[in-house]
């Protein structure tokens, strides 16, 4: 069964801006799905329509088979949403916010209290449960929105840039938490600007641009399409000019930094063998850009050119 299914989804705002231009998309139950796109591509509009915060102009959407036009109540019961912007009452405490949210989904208060403890502890907010939420840090506020979205144990969790502005340590612990939630059967749709995040977490991906889906594939298939990767090598001894490396494209960035492009037919062992033969000692190596980022930029640029 599809967790989310949309057909011909169109949205034209009052000011005439067409945010979605007939989108078709299906996300399977249990998936960890990335929805990527540049700013203003239509991601948040799509999420808004699915969660009933934005009224669609045309098309159909269903959540686990529940049509959002005919069975809205049932469809909404299945969704938990973590929006891009902070949207809880900042004068209330985290504990009050999550318990009240459970109540809006018909969860009795005794059950809500137990879940509040569970999720606030798991998201490292238990110690702050009685504080005014406006006093929480940016990362804590984002985690609070995740805890709130989980209170009714939704079958589909939609995260709209959940780690924006969150430091790397907290981001990684959030990834671990989301993986666990997904492994236990919750379908997750993630939009993010951190493409490393999408590459690390998601199994399937759609790229949206100018209100249209321009790519929809398995993450592994998409990454396989990348024929070349650029590595940045840090050299122990300075070089005055780029070394002659037949079959490789090499560029000296500065006297201690060399960029080398390697195609999928070539291999790193061969490159290192050649560098060793030239007496060049490499002390570290990294990808110039994230692989998904490279594909993403190419697809979006291609779309813009078309």
Partner 1 sequence: MSTVVERLTPRPLARGRARWIGFETILIREFQRIIRIWPQTILPSAVTATLYLVIFGSVIGRRIGTMDGFAYMVYIAPGLIMQAVIINSYNNVVSSFYGAKFGRHIEELLVSPLPSWIIVSGYVAGGVMRGAMVGLVVSGVWMFFTRLPILHPTIVIAAAVLTSVTFSLGGFLNAMFAKSFDQISIIPTFVLTPLIYFGGVFYSINALPVWARHLSLVDPILYMVNSFRFGFLGVSDVGVWDAFAIMIVAVTILFVAAIVLLDRSSGIRE
Site membership for partner 1, residue 77 (CB under 8 A)? yes
Strands 249-254 and 257-263: antiparallel
Helix pair angle (109-122, 138-150), 10° resolution: 140
Does 254 help bind partner 1 (rule: CB under 8 A)?
no
**58 token code pair:** 């045309």
Minimum distance of partner 1 from residue 229's CB (angstroms): 31
48 lies in the binding site for partner 1 (CB under 8 A) = yes
Residue with tokens 């805890």: 147
Count of residues that interact with partner 1, criterion CB under 8 A: 51
> Nearer to partner 1 by C-beta: 69 or 270?
69
The yes or no reply on residue 122 touching partner 1 (CB under 8 A) is yes
Interface region with partner 1, contact rule CB under 8 A, candidates 31-39, 66-74, 188-196, 298-306: 66-74
Q: What angle do CA 63, 179, 127 make, to 5 degrees?
A: 105
Binding to partner 1 by residue 273, rule CB under 8 A?
no
For residues 125-164, which are near partner 1 according to CB under 8 A? 148, 153
Contact region with partner 1 (CB under 8 A), list: 113-121, 207-215, 241-249, 254-262: 113-121
35 vs 182: CA distance, rounded Å: 16
43: contact with partner 1 by CB under 8 A: no
Residues 6+ apart with CB under 8 A from 146: 82, 119, 123, 159, 162, 174, 177
Residue 124 sits in the site that holds partner 1 (CB under 8 A): yes
**End-to-end Cα spacing for the chain:** 35
By CB under 8 A, is residue 173 in contact with partner 1?
yes
Q: Which one, 9 or 81, has the nearer CB to partner 1?
A: 81
Evaluated on CA atoms 130, 133, 136, 142, the torsion sign reads positive
Site string for partner 1, 84-103 (x = CB under 8 A): -xxxxxxxx---x---xx-x
Secondary structure class of 294 (helix, strand, coil) = helix
Q: Which of 2, 10, 26, 74 binds partner 1 (CB under 8 A)?
A: 74
In whole angstroms, how close is the CB of 137 to partner 1 at the nearest point?
16
The sign of the torsion formed by the CA atoms of 141, 129, 173, 137 equals positive
Closest contact distance (angstroms) between CB of 176 and partner 1 is 6
In a 13 Å sphere around the CA of 249, the CA atoms on its Cβ side amount to 6
Write out the two tokens for 220: 């592994």
Q: CB-side exposure of 67: number of CA atoms within 13 Å?
A: 5
Chain residues in the site for partner 1 (CB under 8 A): 13-14, 48, 51-55, 72-74, 76-77, 79, 81, 83, 85-92, 96, 100-101, 103-109, 111, 114-115, 118, 121-124, 148, 153, 173-174, 176-177, 180-181, 184
């Amino acid at each position: 069964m599809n967790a989310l299914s949309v057909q011909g989804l169109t949205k034209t705002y009052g000011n005439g801006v067409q945010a979605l231009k007939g989108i078709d998309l299906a996300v399977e139950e249990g998936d960890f799905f990335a929805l990527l796109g540049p700013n203003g591509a239509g991601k948040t509009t799509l999420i808004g329509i699915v969660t009933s915060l934005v009224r669609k102009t045309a098309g159909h959407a269903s959540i686990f088979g529940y049509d959002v036009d005919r069975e809205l109540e049932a469809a909404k019961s299945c969704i938990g949403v973590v929006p891009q912007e902070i949207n809880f009452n900042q004068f209330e405490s985290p504990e009050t916010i999550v318990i009240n949210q459970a109540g809006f989904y018909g969860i009795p208060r005794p059950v809500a209290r137990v879940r509040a403890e569970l999720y606030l502890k798991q998201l490292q907010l238990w110690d702050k449960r009685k504080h005014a939420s406006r006093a929480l840090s940016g990362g804590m506020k984002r985690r609070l929105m995740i805890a709130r979205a989980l209170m009714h144990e939704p079958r589909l969790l939609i995260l709209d840039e959940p780690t924006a502005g969150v430091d790397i340590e907290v981001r990684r612990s959030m990834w671990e938490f989301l993986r666990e939630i997904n492994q236990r059967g919750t379908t997750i749709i993630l939009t993010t600007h951190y493409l490393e995040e999408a590459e690390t977490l998601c199994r399937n991906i759609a790229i949206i641009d100018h209100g249209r889906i321009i790519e929809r594939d398995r993450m592994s298939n998409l990454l396989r399409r990348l024929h070349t990767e650029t590595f940045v090598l840090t050299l122990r001894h300075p070089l005055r000019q780029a070394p002659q490396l037949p079959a490789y494209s090499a560029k000296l960035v500065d006297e201690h930094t060399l960029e080398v492009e390697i195609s999928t037919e070539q291999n790193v062992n061969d490159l290192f063998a050649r560098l060793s033969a030239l007496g060049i000692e490499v002390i570290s190596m990294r990808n110039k850009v994230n692989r998904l980022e490279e594909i993403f930029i190419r697809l979006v640029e291609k779309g813009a050119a078309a």
